[in-house]
């Protein structure tokens, strides 16, 4: 993660023309308007990568992320680094702390290295190679390379589309390490519900008192909690009360509300 401004570029934008020369040739134009959603750290707002994602028609939700720079599903978070920032993060020891946090919070984190650049003073090429090997072999974090922000955006778009294409994987933040306290653990468990983040988890627990009562609450009772609307309540009940596995071996698709936990809308 490099130094970035905080100006919000807007939550949605679409372009009719763009000239990507890399991964975009594999992306059908018919799918560029399909509502792909990405949660992005607000410090990335001024980056050229975000501008390219806007051109691709990505629905953008800026947040203050504790882990990663781009979240494309509840399993995949992407840390974007320029090559110089990657080297600097080795020197100040941020890199492996970030890798550990991503691995703990997300099932399939990725590191995306963007561009080239001059060697960073104070670190050898051998140290850089060693860090890359450590990321892959010790932390289990795959590393992708992109030549420029345009290609980075195409990678993020393609990954997000793959994760979201069948509507069975939502986009939600899981950027919290498991807490040490019992109350924190309760909040963590409730926050694992669809479209529920830490603030809503606290509201639910304050209302019902126990995790058990949250999970057994009716749709009507769930809607009595601030910021829990009928669609969220229905999705929670579908998950908690649904039979596993689904009849015929097919998973039940998620409801049409597939937003990234937008807590400022009662839906």
Angle CA(186)–CA(101)–CA(131) in degrees, nearest 5? 165
Q: Which residue has the higher pLDDT, 229 or 249?
A: 229
Mean pLDDT of the chain: 78
The 10 Å Cβ neighbour count of residue 171 is 23
> Residues 195, 129: one domain?
no
Domain residue limits at 235:
182-249
127-131, 195-199, 247-251, range with greatest mean pLDDT: 127-131
Within-domain flag for 155: yes
**What is the mean pLDDT of the segment spanning 135-161?**
95
> Residues 68, 153: one domain?
yes
**Band of residue 51 on the pLDDT scale cut at 50, 70, 90:** very high
> Residues 58, 134: one domain?
yes
**What is the mean pLDDT of the segment spanning 111-115?**
94
> Residues 82, 147: one domain?
yes
Helices (H), 48-181: 48-55, 83-91, 94-105, 125-133, 149-164
Question: Is it the case that residue 60 has pLDDT exceeding 70?
Answer: yes
> Residues 99, 195: one domain?
no
Task: Give the CATH number of the domain where residue 208 resides.
Answer: 1.10.150.20
Q: Supply the pLDDT for residue 174.
A: 56
Q: Which residues contact 153 (CB under 8 A, 6 or more apart)?
A: 49, 50, 52, 53, 55, 56
Question: Is it the case that residue 29 has pLDDT exceeding 50?
Answer: no
Within-domain flag for 124: yes
Q: Which run of H or E residues covers position 157? A: helix 149-164
> Residues 47, 159: one domain?
yes
Number of separate domains in the chain: 2
Query: ω into residue 245 within 30 of 0, thus cis?
Result: yes
> Residues 54, 125: one domain?
yes
Angle CA(119)–CA(133)–CA(45) in degrees, nearest 5? 60
Interhelix angle 149-164/48-55, rounded to 10 degrees, is: 50
Within-domain flag for 138: yes
Q: Supply the pLDDT for residue 237.
A: 93
CA distance 158 to 76: 12
CA distance 248 to 159: 29
Q: Supply the pLDDT for residue 141.
A: 95
Within-domain flag for 5: no
> Residues 146, 192: one domain?
no
> Residues 105, 224: one domain?
no
Within-domain flag for 122: yes
Residue 113 DSSP SS3:
strand
**Band of residue 69 on the pLDDT scale cut at 50, 70, 90:** very high
Within-domain flag for 16: no
Within-domain flag for 217: yes
Within-domain flag for 254: no
Least confident range of 136-140, 235-239, 246-250: 246-250
């Amino acid at each position: 993660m490099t130094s970035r401004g905080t100006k919000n570029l807007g939550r949605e934008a679409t372009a009719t023309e763009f000239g990507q020369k890399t991964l975009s040739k594999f992306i059908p134009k018919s799918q560029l308007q399909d509502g792909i959603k990405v949660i992005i750290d607000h410090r990335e707002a001024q980056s050229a990568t975000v501008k390219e994602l806007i051109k691709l028609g990505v629905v953008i939700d800026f947040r203050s992320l504790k882990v990663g720079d781009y979240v494309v599903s509840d399993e995949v978070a992407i840390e974007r680094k320029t090559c110089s920032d990657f080297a600097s993060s080795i020197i100040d020891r941020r890199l492996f702390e970030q890798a550990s946090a991503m691995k703990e919070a997300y099932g399939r984190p990725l590191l995306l290295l963007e561009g080239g650049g001059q060697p960073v003073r104070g670190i050898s090429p051998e140290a850089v190679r060693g860090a890359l090997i450590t990321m892959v072999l010790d932390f289990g974090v795959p590393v992708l390379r992109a030549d420029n922000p345009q290609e980075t955006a195409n990678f993020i778009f393609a990954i997000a589309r793959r994760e979201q294409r069948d509507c069975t994987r939502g986009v939600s933040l899981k950027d919290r390490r498991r807490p040490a306290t019992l109350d924190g653990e309760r909040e963590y468990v409730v926050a694992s519900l669809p479209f529920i983040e830490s603030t809503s988890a606290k509201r639910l627990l304050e209302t019902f008192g126990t995790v058990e009562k949250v999970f057994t609450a009716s749709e009507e009772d769930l809607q009595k909690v601030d910021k829990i609307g009928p669609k969220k309540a229905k999705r929670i009940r579908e998950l908690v009360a649904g039979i596993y596995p689904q009849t015929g071996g097919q998973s039940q698709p998620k409801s049409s509300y597939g937003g990234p936990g937008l807590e400022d809308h009662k839906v």
